Amino acid sequence: MEQPTNLVGVDIRAEIERLRRDRNAVILAHYYQKPELQDLADFVGDSLDLSRRAAETDADVIAFCGVRFMAETAKILSPTKTVILPDMDAGCSLEDSCPPAQFAAFRAAHPDHIALTYINCSPAVKALRDIIVTSSSAETILAKLPADQKIIFGPDRNLGGYLVRKTGREMLLWPGVCIVHEAFSETELLKLRAQHPGAPIAAHPECPAVILDHADYVGSTRGILEFANAMPGDTLIVATEPHIIHQMEKAMPGKRFIGAPGADGNCNCNICPYMALN
């Protein structure tokens, strides 16, 4: 989408609206995106939501406020559309932790295993998989596989470990992590819970097991939003990227949402630096 060469005195929102109209564009934004971009988007959602929107849209152009693998997934699902990512440096630590050549060698070393890959990976790694899952769909898909089927799961070891504990299915796990979810501190989380007795904890399954063990609910970003809406209390501790709280506060203004802390005692270290590049 073309950009004005000089932004001095330009009404940025009006210019975005003009480009959206003139180019027949749709703006998709992930829950982890900055609030001002969420508010500009036509649709805000998790990876599964946005994948579906990308596949179903009648727009000619998809402007994706997210990270690179999300825009690449949108292009795979809508190959005739023009897909735009505001900054091509908006990568993903989880994607970076799974180089395609190394994952291919890992697969080759275990020829009797099928590979389930989390959607949070590069197209090259997706091409090496048998099945692609999201945090919303992984457990359901696992339940449909034969009990004796051997499985490789990658690239997120925390999500894979959660699925092993939840389903009892043994899997070989690729050792990748999301730096945002890996940064949560069990010690600081327990301090926060002590300050808010009775407040439940909702966590994303990309968190380490030491965080998930204290969670009252574990699920996708969409699932966390649904849990927040249904919970009887008025305070929730949220263990995922804190920008999702923007959607919670918009939908549930009478409730209080507190971001789970990192080692420094606040949630600022848990903001995704790649999403921030948009």
Q: Model confidence over 154-170: pLDDT tens digits?
A: 999 999 999 999 999 99
pLDDT grade for 269, boundaries at 50, 70 and 90: low
What average pLDDT is seen over the chain? Answer: 94
218/6: higher pLDDT: 218
Q: Model confidence over 100-135: pLDDT tens digits?
A: 999 999 999 999 999 999 999 999 999 999 999 999
* Per-residue model confidence (pLDDT) at position 237: 98
pLDDT grade for 1, boundaries at 50, 70 and 90: very low
Q: What is the 3-state secondary structure (H, E, C) of the chain?
A: CCCCCCCCCCCHHHHHHHHHHHCCEEEEEECCCCHHHHHHCCEEECHHHHHHHHHHCCCCEEEEECCHHHHHHHHHHCCCCEEECCCCCCCCHHHHCCCHHHHHHHHHCCCCEEEEEECCCCHHHHCCCCEEECCCCHHHHHHHCCCCCEEEEECEHHHHHHHHHHHCCCCEECCECCHHHHCECHHHHHHHHHHCCCCCEEECCCCCHHHHCCCCEECCHHHHHHHHHHCCCCEEEEECCCCHHHHHHHHCCCCEEEECCECCCCCHHHCCCCHHHC
Q: Model confidence over 218-257: pLDDT tens digits?
A: 999 999 999 999 999 999 999 999 999 999 999 999 999 9
Q: In the predicted model, is pLDDT for residue 209 greater than 70?
A: yes
- Residue ranges and CATH numbers for the domains of the chain are 12-89 (3.40.50.10800), 94-177 (3.40.50.10800), 180-277 (3.40.50.10800)
